[in-house]
Amino acid sequence: MSLTLYQHPLASFCHKVLIALYENGTAFEPHLVDLGNPDARAEFCELWPVGKMPVLRDEARDRTVPETTVIIEYLEQHYPGARPLLPSDHDERLDVRLWDRFFDLYVQVPVQKIVVDRIRPQASRDPYGVAEAQATLANAYDMLEQRMRERTWACGEEFGLADCAASPALFYAGIVAPFPPGHTHLAAYFERLMARPSVQRTIAEARPYFPMFPFVDAMPARFLHGDAP
């Protein structure tokens, strides 16, 4: 098989690419990377020395493609499916890229800060940094509540790249920092994402690994036990 995705089913950034692959039924071989295994880590870092997942390897074109947004755009260009994830209009593409970056930088990154701090030794924790991350998430929630008032998906009426980013970002964010009760448009958008078959498949594949998640005790039962959405 030409395409191999180096990933871990629990990793939120890997979810983003998996959702894009499942949206279009793109054939690929998943390769589970255990970064806790020194040999597996060394092997993966030979492929991409930064050591961050996911990474796509395309043997047919002899290309190694890191970074989630680049991977999805690469797939869009060289392995297009029936459901385009980026619009053809250049201005609309810029909007999609903006909100893709928004979910990565202002939702996923602060979530990672909070999660990583939970597993640090007590003496090494960073309460100030966690407070900053929580404030960033609160601001992101407010912005999304306003944005989703008149939209079905992040950038209009078609599911796309930005929604691939939103799905895992909001999935994990909602666990570590639940949405405020009054944010009904954000909550409705989240439920639409969770009802997406590509998202449900990704969550189902992650489920055996959820006990490894530091905030598993706060995870809603519907995700733990498979009765989502």
Cα separation of 125 and 28, whole Å? Answer: 39
Are 124 and 69 part of one and the same domain? Answer: no
Which helix (H) or strand (E) segment holds residue 215: the answer is: none
Domain boundary among 53, 78, 103: 78
Instruction: Quote the number of domains for the chain.
Output: 2
* pLDDT(169) > 70: yes
Q: Domain with 130 in it: what CATH number?
A: 1.20.1050.10
Are 113 and 68 part of one and the same domain? Answer: no
Q: Quick one: pLDDT at residue 166?
A: 98
- Are 33 and 59 a contacting pair, CB within 8 Å? no
Cα separation of 214 and 176, whole Å? Answer: 10
Q: Quick one: pLDDT at residue 227?
A: 60
Are 209 and 110 part of one and the same domain? Answer: yes
- Are 136 and 41 a contacting pair, CB within 8 Å? no
Domain boundary among 78, 108, 142: 78
pLDDT per residue as tens digits for the range 17-75:
999 999 999 999 999 999 889 999 999 999 999 999 999 999 999 999 999 999 999 99
Q: Which domain holds residue 215?
A: 90-224
Domain boundary among 50, 78, 106: 78
Are 74 and 107 part of one and the same domain? Answer: no
Please indicate, yes or no, if residue 83 is contained in any of the structural domains.
no
